[in-house]
Amino acid sequence: MLKNKITPQETSELKKYFNECRNVVIVSHTAPDGDAIGSSLGLYHYLTRKGKHVTVIVPNLFPDFFRWMKDSDKIVIYERQKTHANVVISQADLICCLDFNVPSRIDELQVPVMQARCRKILVDHHIGPDKSLGDIVISHTDASSTCELIFRIITAIGGYDALPFAGAESLYAGLATDTGFFNYNSNNPDVFIILSELLRKGIDKDLINRRIQNNFSPDRVKFLGYVLYEKLKVYSDLHASYFSITRDELTQFNYVKGDMEGIVNMPLQIKGHKLSISLREDTEKDMILISTRSVDDFPCNEFCAQYYNGGGHKNASGGRLYCSMEEAIAITERALEEWSERLKAE
C-alpha cells in the first residue's frame, strides 16, 4: 500500500483550491527538465479534465526529447511570449509552482508570479522552500521527484481514476528522469508502487524511455566521445573530475538544447568516483553553467552553494558563474583542493 504523504488537512485544502479556481497557471523552473515538464503537464491534464482553463509557463525552452508529451506544444515559453504570459498570469486565480524552491529559479518569470495576488500552491522536493511561493506548501525533500508528489496529490484528492492517461505518461517522465531511470533516489518502495500504478494506466514505459534517451543527433553522440576523450580532467586521488566546454566547442558539434543532458553523469562510472563537475559556457548569456553529480554522502548542494551561486539536491546540483572559463576552472580547482580531505576519504 502507498503511504500517502499528503495529510487529510492538505488534501481538503488542495481540493478547495482546485474546485474554486477557473484560470490556473502552472510554472516551473528555468532549463526545464523531465520533472519540471512532466509534473506541470501531469497536473495540467488533471485540471484540464476537471474543466479548468490551464496554462503551463516555463522561463525558457525545454529539450526536444520531451515534445512527445501531449500538449507540450501548448507550453508558453516566457522568454519568447512575455506579454502574453503576463496577461495570462494577471488573469489567473490560482498559480501552482512546481519543482523549484526559490523565486530566482524561474528567472524573470518571478516578477509577475510574485506580484500576483491570487492563491498559490508550491509543490517541490528541494531543500529550503521559500514559503512565500505558496499559500499551501507541499515540500518533501525525501520525494524522488515532484511528479511523485503530483501523483500523490491527484490520487489523494480524486482517486486513481482522476488521473488521465496523458497525465500518467507525463508523470512517468519525471519519475524516471529524476531517478536516472531508477538508478538513484528510488529506494523508497513507494516509487515502484507509483510506477506500477502508472503502468496500470497503460503507459508504455519502454517507448517513453526510448523517446527520452535515444533521441540524439549523430553529432551529439560524437560530442560525448569528444568530451570524455579530450576534455575530462580526472583527479583519481580525489575520486573527482571536471570538464569544461566552450561555446565554440558547442557550435562545432551543432549543439541543440538538451545535448549536454546526461554527460555529467558519465564520469561517475569510474570506479570509486564521488564527484563529477561540468562547466559550460551558456550559448546566449555571458555565464558559465555548472552541473554537479555525486554519490552517497558527498553534498553537491553545499559544494554548489559555496562556489557556484547555486544549490539543489545532495547528489545533483547546479549553479552559475559570471566570469571567464579560465576563472571558472580556477575556482573549480580551488574548490577541489579545499574539499580534498573529504573527497580522498574512502
Positions that interact with ligand 5GP (CB under 6 A): 31, 33, 126, 291, 310-313, 316-320
Distances (CA, A) of 128 to 77, 133, 134, 140, 286: 26, 12, 13, 10, 28
**Closest residue by beta carbon to Mn ion:** 35
Specify the residue, 30 or 241, whose C-beta has the smaller distance to Mn ion: 30
Nearer to ligand 5GP, 92 or 321 (CB): 321
With 0-12 / 13-18 / 19 or more C-beta atoms within 10 angstroms meaning exposed / middle / buried, residue 115 is exposed
Q: How far is the CB of 50 from ligand 5GP (least distance, A)?
A: 29
Smallest distance from Mn ion to CB 144, Å? 8
Is the Cβ of residue 38 or residue 312 nearer to ligand 5GP in the bound state? Answer: 312
Give yes or no for a contact between 194 and 175, defined as CB atoms under 8 angstroms apart: yes
The one of Mn ion, ligand 5GP, none whose footprint includes residue 312, by CB under 5 to 8 A per kind, is ligand 5GP
Q: Measured from the CB of residue 52, what is the shortest distance to ligand 5GP in angstroms? A: 27
Q: How far apart are CA 220 and CA 214, in angstroms?
A: 11
Please identify, using beta-carbon distances, which residue of 33 and 259 lies nearer to ligand 5GP: 33
**DSSP run (H or E) holding 27:** strand 23-28
Judged by beta carbon, residue 110 or residue 146, the one nearer Mn ion is 146
Contacted entry of Mn ion, ligand 5GP, none for residue 134, CB cut-off 5 to 8 Å set by kind: none
Minimum CB–partner distance for residue 204 and ligand 5GP (Å): 25
Q: Which is nearer to ligand 5GP, 32 or 164 (by Cβ)?
A: 32
**In the 8-state DSSP scheme, what is residue 100?**
-
Q: Binding partner of residue 119 among ligand 5GP, Mn ion, none, CB under 5 to 8 Å per kind?
A: none
* H helices, E strands: number in the chain: 13, 12
Residue 99 is a binding residue for Mn ion (CB under 5 A): yes
Tell me the C-alpha distance between 150 and 158, whole Å: 12
Nearest alpha carbon to residue 198 among 155, 169, 177: 169
Ramachandran region, residue 124 (left: φ > 0; alpha: ψ -120 to 50; beta: rest): beta
Rounded to a whole number of angstroms, the minimum distance from the CB of residue 29 to Mn ion is 8
Q: How far apart are CA 233 and CA 53, in angstroms?
A: 50
What mask of x and - would describe binding to Mn ion in positions 134 to 153, judged by CB under 5 A? Answer: ------------x-------
38: partner contacted, choices ligand 5GP, Mn ion, none (Cβ within 5-8 A by kind): none
Number of residues that bind Mn ion (CB under 5 A): 4
Helix (H, G, I), strand (E, B) or coil at 244: strand
Tell whether residue 169 is a contact of Mn ion (CB under 5 A).
no
In the block, which residue shows the cell 520533472?
A: 35
The CA distances from residue 89 to 46, 54, 102, 169, in Å, are 20, 11, 18, 27
Smallest separation (angstroms) from Mn ion to the CB of 183: 15
Q: What SS3 state is found at 318?
A: strand
Within positions 6 to 35, which residues make up the interface with Mn ion, using CB under 5 A?
35
CB closer to ligand 5GP, 49 vs 314: 314
Instruction: Look at residues 316, 337, 330 and name the one whose alpha carbon lies nearest to residue 31.
Output: 316
Contact indicator for 22, 48 with CB cutoff of 8 Å: no
E-assigned strand segments in 218-315: 233-235, 240-245, 275-281, 288-294, 311-312
**178 near Mn ion, rule: CB under 5 A:** yes
Cβ 311 to Mn ion, closest distance in Å?
Answer: 13
Residue closer to ligand 5GP by CB (options 170, 301) is 301
CB of 19 to ligand 5GP, least distance (A): 31
Shortest reach from residue 125's CB to Mn ion, in Å: 6
- Write out the residues near Mn ion by the rule CB under 5 A: 35, 99, 146, 178
